Structure 1
């Protein structure tokens, strides 16, 4: 799914609340309606949209009543900074059929209960360990973002020193974020192709940018060797 589309879907507060409810356990329409204080008709509309997007799925119980649950395990990341706006959607595969067998086999009830308790405590310890690792990873990501911002500030200061005109400044800034074709640069900067190519050629002659061929197109990027040997 397009992450932008998913972000639009989750932009509705009631749909977010529905996802939050279903993240705890499967629910019927009547349950969701009662918990959120929203009419069944509106709930059905939200559920239909979430189902079409592949976020939830429905099943039927023994009384032929429909209930809904989360269908996918995914992670949506949005990064907003003075230098970038990015979205990434990751589908995280998880096969519930391969959870492994319980260590409790055919044993007398007290022994089985003891082993079940031990197994549960081990799982709990493992879950705590994973939560700690998640928190460590979040801190690492935060630190990386700080370092990225600091480095981008220094790059912008350097660009102002080496660029000969405002177009070169904009081109170098765009290519700092990602390599791009001349057509993409024209679109992003709202400049004529001749102006873009003239400035790219000049920057290339001075050793700041270069291009590679991918799918029969020129992709421009910042030179990996920089200007130290120029």
Structure 2
């Protein structure tokens, strides 16, 4: 039995499309913040907010691996049963059974077509993202100092971030983040705007995201 407070949290979670998408992804396997952001094409800061909300509501839990990446997983799955009241008899009689059936077929076909289009687009983008990440790794060998800086650049390609925000997303120690950012800034790879860091502008234009 779900209490009033828990029921309210559940409605807040299910009422947000991106939280539903995150839950769907975590049904497949535990994921860390950057992985969720890249697969769902979301801002890492927004992903953190959603994950922290669902963790406070005790729908998620987290653990940190040996590489200091924080993985999130479902504590319990969510199953909703919806009961729909029968329409008044007069309303049912306005349409024949044949007409109602055809309308149901058209509605189902329309939704399936829309879903397939989205799946094809996402698969295409996932392939492009994988290729872009491979290009980043292969071209960074003489530029970046290992996986830490690759993770920093990947995070900054999503959004301008502060040191504390980068730490929450990547779980890299703050001292190492500050050292790497200083080196990348000195190399003209990232720039700083107040407390935020971003990838360097190229020919007056911000690197595409």
Q: Larger % of strand: which?
A: 1
If the length of structure 1 is used for normalisation, what is the TM-score? 0.46
When the two structures are superposed, what TM-score results if normalisation uses the length of structure 2? 0.50
> Which structure is larger by alpha-carbon Rg, 1 or 2?
1
